[in-house]
Structure 1
């Protein structure tokens, strides 16, 4: 059975292969783009957008690349295969994050930096996610179960012994906003403790007494994918924002939040104290 390839995943792979084949052919980006436009038409930056996965390639683009780059048979076959997959209409994404691009990049990430003043979706248990989503005015009741399952599944993919390196900063106030009752809240905080004990995960908490911390009022996730690709994701009600080039401001804000947080050991003590408190309710 042929393996199903996500269309955006295929677009990323196509972009990477296309860049390599162009370089192997000895063409600079500007020269290749000018030749492509002269041969098949299009607009300025079309090749740039293909090579950065911002758009999917059209058949005419692939035909030109095969003729101009003259790749080896294996690379040629893969280029065609990836182009076909990249142009396939994507299946609907069932996720709290309304972005197929983000989910694909999240799966590919080797490092993640997360700063939130609430429990992010990937750290939520199914029960906690269900209780949280059920209260949202933006979620159709018919979608709650699938969305909650998706959040739990995303967390399982990320937080595993051989998963990416993850640095997490949570505002203590997140522990005050626990939906679903004491039992659900207990299991959610136990989940945070379990995640914090993974060898590649570091989790810190910023006490509410700390005061204003820029990262907590501007939550985001920063992803790094080898060899050196970055994506900062900031979710809003109206839209999702992405920064793919200069992410230095996000690193600066994260480092500030990390320094404002208490140590990992003290953070675990805060979590365990919350669990003990919930057990008395």
Structure 2
């Protein structure tokens, strides 16, 4: 069945691009499947582009322009859309995590959601919205299933040392959480580094951010916000965030030294679990 999600072109440039792609396709008298056949993809993928659920590459957009005889209109819209930051809700970020081939996370003061234990996640999510806690907790734990896939994405996480010391939910929950982090030492796809207090001033002082890389789509960068985060595919922003992440990796402890620090904090700060 074709994807006919209703879009408001005034919501964002990416929605405008999707709406225009649909308009050009319908003007050409093509179904999503028929257009997909002409550009060597599925109709479902065309539907995801039309509903702004995915961002097409420039090369693919040029193919669409050629087939639909738009005079390059779609590529011009894509270039404009990539320059804007798009607000995203939590569910949309979950979808990006699930689809990414690689994801790079920086969290200066809290353990990232994909690595949280149930007890830790419950404390974090219940700070303001206890009435919605059950649903939010179930969703967070479901997100972590991507780590158990047969071919999981590459996940790289840099945690600020503060995340190890900030007591969330008490000593037992923290000990369990740090032990859970140590359990990833031999994971084939998850790599954890700790940015120590001794690193001093660093390029991550402005806050948490994420980089997503996809097999069939442009790289994306995501920055956290209180109510909604913001996503960008602007190549200049991606380059700047990639450089920032490389600096953080260089300033952080090695994976082995990070595990040693986590184990030391677990024993010295949280002691033996009762």
Find the partner of 1:71 among 27, 34, 46: 34
Find the partner of 2:115 among 112, 117, 123: 123
| Alignment partner of 1:184 is 2:184 | no
CA contact (8 A) 1:62 1:80 kept: no
**Count of residues in correspondence between the two structures:** 230
Q: Structure 1 residues 164, 58: closer, same or farther in 2, change over 3 A?
A: closer
Paired with 1:6 and 1:266, the residues of 2 have a C-alpha distance of 51
Query: Which segments of structure 1 move beyond 3 Å, counting only runs of 4 or more?
Result: 5-8, 53-62, 65-76, 78-87, 158-161
Describe the SS at the equivalent of 2:223.
strand
Q: 2:95 maps to which residue?
A: 104
| Alignment partner of 1:261 is 2:224 | no
Describe the SS at the equivalent of 1:215.
coil
Find the partner of 2:105 among 114, 125, 145: 114
Note the C-alpha offset of 1:104.
1.8
| Alignment partner of 1:270 is 2:233 | no
Q: 2:127 maps to which residue?
A: 135
Deviations 1:74-106 (A, max 9, x none): 779x6389649976xxxxxxxxx8244322222
Paired with 2:141 and 2:185, the residues of 1 have a C-alpha distance of 16
The structure where helix makes up a greater share of residues is: 1
CA contact (8 A) 2:19 2:50 kept: yes
Q: Give the CA RMSD over aligned residues.
A: 3.9
Q: 1:24-103 to 2 correspondence within 5 Å? A: 49=14, 55=18, 61-67=24-30, 71=34, 79=43, 83=47, 98-103=89-94
| Alignment partner of 1:211 is 2:175 | no
Describe the SS at the equivalent of 1:71.
helix
CA contact (8 A) 1:127 1:184 kept: yes
Q: Which moved more, 1:199-208 or 1:107-116?
A: 199-208
Paired with 1:244 and 1:105, the residues of 2 have a C-alpha distance of 13
Q: Structure 1 residues 185, 159: closer, same or farther in 2, change over 3 A?
A: farther
Describe the SS at the equivalent of 2:172.
helix
Q: Structure 1 residues 272, 7: closer, same or farther in 2, change over 3 A?
A: farther
Note the C-alpha offset of 1:219.
1.2
Structure 2, unpaired ranges of 5+? 52-87
- Could you state the TM-score of these two structures normalised by the residue count of structure 2? 0.69
- Could you state the TM-score of these two structures normalised by the residue count of structure 1? 0.68
